[in-house]
Amino acid sequence: MDASITTRLSQRAVITAAIVDVVGVVVFVAIGRRNHDEGTAIFGVLAVAAPFLLALVISWLGMRTWVEPFTRRSWAATWVITVVAGLLLRRFVFDRGIATPFIIVATITLGVLLGVGRLLSKRLVRN
């Protein structure tokens, strides 16, 4: 296969995985805000999503996720770092609460959304 095609497919895969990860975080926050009658206005969602989006960027940079975005290791590291760093940022930088039920819901929901998102993005890149 031509090297430029391989590079282009690789770039497409990385961009797709990154976008799907961001969408997963935003969907998590939008669902939470809607369930708590806080509305789903984009600026409100992005304000609440900010610590988790920053944590997602930290995980991608720290783990060099762009190298192998579709491995289980990559997904697991992205999930754990996004949850832990996101909760810490939410509490200590954004001065918002992190009650135990929220920690549980964030951990499970982000794990599912990021995992399903990676599977979906892998399929999108193949087709």
Q: Residue 10 has what pLDDT?
A: 82
pLDDT band for position 125 (cuts 50, 70, 90): confident
Helix, coil or strand: residue 64: coil
Question: What pLDDT does residue 117 have?
Answer: 94
Report the C-alpha gap between 14 and 4 in whole angstroms.
Answer: 15
How far is the C-alpha of 44 from the C-alpha of 14, rounded, in Å? 28
Q: How does pLDDT run across 36-59, given as a tens digit for each residue?
A: 878 778 888 999 999 999 999 999
Would you state the pLDDT for residue 127? 61
pLDDT of residue 23: 96
Model pTM?
0.88
Q: What whole-number percentage of the chain has pLDDT above 90?
A: 72
What φ, ψ does residue 118 adopt, rounded to 5°?
A: -65, -40
Q: Is 87 helix (H, G, I), strand (E, B) or coil?
A: helix
- Reported as a single tens digit per residue, the pLDDT across 3-40 is 444 455 588 889 999 999 999 999 999 999 988 878 77
User: In the chain, what are the domain boundaries?
Assistant: 3-126
Condensed to tens digits (0 to 9), the pLDDT of residues 49-105 reads 999 999 999 999 999 999 999 999 999 999 999 999 999 999 999 999 999 999 999
